[in-house]
Structure 1
Amino acid sequence: MIEILATLSASAAAGIRIGIPLLIIVLLQGSNFWSQVPIVSHVSPGVLLTCLISCSFFELFVSKKLWGQRILQIIHLFLSPLVGAIMGLAVASATATPHWLIAVIGGSLALVLQLVQVGWFYRLRGLPLWAVFLQDVLCIALVLFAFDAPWQGGLIALILLWFALRSAKEWYDWYHKSR
């Protein structure tokens, strides 16, 4: 149960940002840890670290501008399921749960959270700066919770999932009232 909550926490972080959570896991666990993760084990640790640092800085600086948010939305929408699956596999690598199930759960949660962000972005015509900073802090906290406090991280991920479902219902009602 703890592994599933840790998976949810890490995958929710991947649903918010992509490079930052992967970079934090590399810094916390070391480059030898990635040799156990099926998808990224074939990449050289130096190349992986360079790519993650570049991606993280790109996300941190570009996300503060409207045009940057649009670019990141497109990139994150396509890559979040893959990164969510990788994050789930990285956190719960020692569990008895089948790897394909962890990858599907992690990728699905990351995609749902990314879709909600895209919806809020277009409904608000851009995310306010305070919301972008909140995303950064929440992303980092979820990754740290995945390792140190999986119950709390999993609970936050489930609350985010509830918020996503609630937002989808509100958008559906709003759309049908405006027609």
Structure 2
Amino acid sequence: MIEILATLSASAAAGMRIGIPLLIIGLLQGSNLWSQVPILSHISPPILLGCLTSWSLIELFGSKKLWGQRSLQLVQLFMSPIAGAIMGLAVANATATPNWLIALIGGLLALVLQLVQVGWFYRLRGLPLWAVFLQDTLCVALVLFAFGAPWQGGLIALILLWFAVRSAKQWYDWYWQKSKKLGVRS
């Protein structure tokens, strides 16, 4: 059970940012940089360190402006399921659950959280700066919780999933109220 909560925590972090969680997970392994991480273990550590550091900086600084949020969302929307699957597999390497199931759950959770971010971005016409800072902080905390306190990290990931479901219902109600006011029928 703890491994599944750790997987949810790590995958939720990948649903918010891509480079930062992958960079942190590699650095937490010490001198073995990504040697235990599926897929990434086949890439040279210095090249991977350079790429993930660069992408993390782009995510950190680019997400603070409207045009940066819009550009990053395109990449993150397509890459978050892959990053979520990698993060899930990296955390849950000693579980009896099949790897394909862990990768699927991790990738889907990351995709759902990324879709919620995109939805809020377009509904609010850009994310407020406080929300972006909250995402950055929560992303780092979820990766650290995945290793140090998986119970708490998994609980936060489940709360984020609940928030995603509530957001979808709110958007659905908002859309139907708006279409009723405009007189549009489906």
Q: TM-score, normalised by structure 1?
A: 0.98
Contact kept, 8 Å, 2:18 with 2:76, in 1: the verdict is: yes
Q: Give the CA deviation at 1:33.
A: 5.4
Write the distance in 2 (CA, Å) between the matches of 1:5 and 1:77.
23
Which segments of 5 or more consecutive residues in structure 1 lack a partner in the other structure?
none
2:107 equivalent in structure 1: 107
State whether residues 25 and 143 of structure 1, in contact with CA within 8 Å, keep that contact through their aligned partners in structure 2.
yes
1:36 CA drift (Å): 2.9
Match of 1:55 in 2: 55
State the partner residue of 1:82.
82
Helix, strand or coil for the counterpart of 2:69?
Answer: helix
Offset, 1:156: 0.2
One-letter amino acid of the counterpart of residue 85, structure 1 = A
1:96 partner SS = coil
Q: Which residue of 1 aligns with 2:13?
A: 13
C-alpha offsets along residues 120-179 of structure 1, whole Å, 9 cap, x if unaligned? 000000000000000000000000000000000000000000000000001001001111
Radius of gyration: which is bigger? 2
Aligned residue for 1:98?
98
Give CA-to-partner distance per residue, 1:19-72, whole Å, 9 cap, x none. Answer: 001111111113525233331121001111111100110100110000000001
**Does the aligned pair in 1 maintain the 2:20–2:56 contact within 8 Å?**
yes
Match of 2:184 in 1: none
Deviating beyond 3 angstroms after TM superposition, the runs of 4 or more aligned structure 1 residues are: none
Q: CA contact under 8 A between 2:33 and 2:45: conserved in structure 1?
A: no
User: Which digits, 9 at most, give the CA deviation of each residue in 1:78-111, with x for residues without a partner?
Assistant: 0000000000001111211111010000000000
Change (3 A) 1:132 1:119: same
Report the equivalent of 2:128.
128
Measured in 1, the distance between the counterparts of 2:71 and 2:108 equals 21
Identify which range, 123-132 or 87-96, moves more after superposition: 87-96
Secondary structure of the 2:28 match is: helix
State the percentage of identical aligned residues. 82
Aligned residue number for residue 4 of structure 1: 4
> One-letter code of the match for 1:45?
P
Q: Which amino acid aligns with 2:38?
A: P
Judge conservation of contact 2:25–2:34 (CA < 8 Å) in 1.
Answer: no
When the two structures are superposed, what TM-score results if normalisation uses the length of structure 2? 0.94
Q: Return the letter of the residue paired with 1:176.
A: W
What is the aligned partner in structure 1 of residue 29 from structure 2?
Answer: 29
| 2:38 matched residue in structure 1 | 38
Letter in 2 for 1:98: P
Contact 1:31 1:45 in 2 (8 A): no
